[in-house]
Chains A and B, each alone.
Chain A
Amino acid sequence: MNSIHDMGGMDGFGPVVREDDEPVFHYPWEGRVYALTRVVKPWLRGRRLPGFRFVLESIPPADYLRMSYYERWFHMVVTRLLAGGLVAGSEVETGKPDPDEASPALLPPEDGSLGFALLDLEVQARFAPGDRVRVRNLNPRGHNRLPRYVKGRLGTVVEDYGVYALQDSDEHGQLPLDDPQHVYSVRFEGRELWGDRSGARDAVYVDLWEEYLGPA
């Protein structure tokens, strides 16, 4: 998805503002949102839901920039609970269970999902360290992990990180997680990405699923 979350290389955001002795959470509600997103996970499994990254990336750009980090997460967890039929909109408003709503049930995980972790699967690797590769110009409407600043650019594979399920969603945010592929660390020279703006010796390393890459 080509939206505002894909910010690498943009100008105009000003300096990086730091805070001395920053607390882990600035307000108690931030910690609650963070923890809620973790504990509801078992309830979301096995349901047809948009993935959490898809939901975050679908926030309209102006709203995305206006919202704080944990506001986005709150929006994300509510959106996914609603989509899974685990809560009703009226319940979210009132904070009270509606007696007419059925109690949610834990479901077994969907068959065929390979998850997000490193997989112990034998899959043929198309590339090897040292190979020159050109990133494909892919522009799906769903979620993927291909930052636009490397599309079409030449890089060099430096390491094969092993096999992971492709994390791309469809245009509705559904994640099949059924396509195991090698993920590679790919080095891009700064000048290839940014021209003269980059230092001559500088480089960016990006982790890319095999289908994002083509031969140089």
Chain B
Amino acid sequence: MHDHRHDHHHHDHDHQDVPPDISLRVKALESLLVEKGMVDAAELDEIVDSFENRIGPRNGAQVVARAWTDSAFRQRLLADSTAAIGELGYLGGQGEHMKVVANTPAVHNLVVCTLCSCYPWPTLGLPPTWYKSSAYRARAVIEPRDVLREFGLQLEDNVEVRVWDSTAEVRYLVLPERPGGTEDMTEEELAALVTRDAMIGVARVAAPQGSDS
């Protein structure tokens, strides 16, 4: 029994073939655990709401924008990422021990979890489906340049690519390069430029529209 709604995702087996009754099975489990007194439905609502509306890549973007505008913070961030991110209040589950890696003209960093889906929840939220896909997990370590090219990022041969496989309890965040043409922007304006993909390392932060750089 196959659900072909996602045929256009032909190669992405991580997000298709959902059995039609899975939502009923989940509902049954939830009501069972509620009736047993193990789970409060309002607590589930709160967790879902927090990740749909509050905990996401805007948090990480604040960290990046601060690093771009405050060189002392940037130094602290690279020397002790956990403590510096803690200054902004973005620690928590799956972000207890953080390591920020900085992109430079000579080095490009890329984050993956080949074994599962490890990702810094407090700064980036829950990972997108592609990050959890077999294709990304399999390929990021062996052919990172091909993966980056698919994301639209063509690196020069003389740029060193560093792939960080999150196999233990440390979670990684990429500090992208600040784009040119942003010298007059405020920290808030800069944060609005920073994308989730740039903090995973599959993209650069684009210069603002209208900039000539």
A contact residues vs B (CB 8 Å cutoff)? 5-19, 22-29, 31-36, 38-40, 43, 53, 56, 65-69, 71, 74, 77-78, 86-87, 91-97, 103-104, 116-118, 145-147, 149, 161-162, 164, 167, 183, 185, 190, 193-194, 197-199, 201-209
Contacts and interface: CB of A to CB of B under 8 A. Distances in A.
A109 B204 CA distance: 45
13 contacts: A9-B138, A31-B51, A32-B26, A34-B47, A34-B48, A34-B126, A116-B169, A147-B165, A183-B170, A199-B161, A202-B163, A204-B164, A207-B168
Contact of B29 (A65, A92, A183, A202): A92
A33 to B, nearest CB: 6
Looking at A104, A199, A209, the one whose CB has the most chain B CB atoms below 10 A away is A199
A32 B144 contact: no
Interface residues of B, number: 80
B69 interface: no
A151 to B, nearest CB: 13
Nearest to B109: A205
Interface of B: 9-19, 22-23, 25-33, 35-40, 43-45, 47-48, 51-52, 56, 96-97, 99, 112, 114-117, 125-126, 128-130, 132-145, 147, 150-151, 157-170
A8 B36 contact: no
Contacts of B13: 13, 65-66
Contact of B38 (A69, A86, A92, A204): A86
A29 B165 CA distance: 29
Contacts, number: 251
Nearest to A198: B142
Given A26-B15, A194-B142, A161 B168 contact: yes
Contact of A35 (B44, B117, B161): B44
A75 to B, nearest CB: 10
A162 B168 CA distance: 11
A22 B129 contact: yes
B128 A145 contact: no
Nearest to B166: A207
A17 B17 contact: no
A171 to B, nearest CB: 18
* Smallest CB-CB A-B distances: 3 pairs: A14-B11, A95-B28, A8-B114
A39 B165 contact: no
Contact of A199 (B35, B132, B157): B157
B134 A18 contact: no
Given A14-B11, A36-B33, A92-B28, 15 more contacts: A13-B135, A13-B139, A31-B44, A31-B51, A35-B44, A69-B15, A74-B22, A77-B29, A94-B32, A95-B32, A103-B37, A146-B167, A183-B170, A194-B142, A204-B162
